Homo-oligomer: A and B are copies of this chain.
């Protein structure tokens, strides 16, 4: 049974927006239960409808289901700090971007940005299904692309752990402590009228 906090009770918004954006967060407590394949496909279906330049749809998703040989491959690409809790995920996903245009082979300056948009659709759909979908930058950036056979012109951009929410008490103490939805900077630190005037 999940004992995870409800982000809607923890986070406060300054302007009225859809609950969905606050509901999405990145827990580490996973139950170890399976997630049915139809739910996984819903995540990719959501990703599919993101916007992209010239409708290039630069995003590609590779996945591995727990208990399959593919799982061992994917799991081995994660840093140990993520393996500690990802062992209880149901799926691991690798997020890949096509860096050149299909139309002419030129570099696509928004390939990664568009892929981030698709990833966000995936994460939001997962939140809607009460699934954990936790994106990670903590993996082997150098060896990962070779392990996944990612060809030239494509780039590994992130990995995602997907699973059912679990009990934070099953996590190592230092991770259990951090099992709270994060807050955000004040809006004026990220949005301003006119040219760049942020102080950092």
Contacts and interface: CB of A to CB of B under 8 A. Distances in A.
A198 to B, nearest CB: 6
A190 B113 contact: no
Contact of A51 (B16, B123, B191): B123
A57 B115 CA distance: 17
Nearest to A198: B60
Contact of A61 (B109, B191, B197): B191
Interface string A135-158: 101000100000111110010011
Main secondary structure of the interface of A (DSSP, over half): mixed
Contacts of A151: 196
Contacts of A70: 193-195
B109 A120 contact: no
Interface of A: 11, 13-18, 20-22, 24-26, 38, 41-42, 44-51, 53, 55, 57, 59-65, 68, 70, 73, 95-96, 98, 102, 109-110, 112-121, 123-125, 128, 135, 137, 141, 147-151, 154, 157-158, 182, 184-185, 187, 190-198, 200
A5 to B, nearest CB: 15
A46 B18 contact: yes
Given A42-B17, A196-B96, A49 B24 contact: yes
A190 B17 contact: no
Given A60-B190, A61-B191, A195-B62, A24 B42 contact: no
Given A13-B45, A70-B193, A50 B109 contact: no
Contacts of A64: 193-194
Given A190-B48, A191-B63, A200 B102 contact: yes
Contacts of A59: 190
A15 B20 CA distance: 19
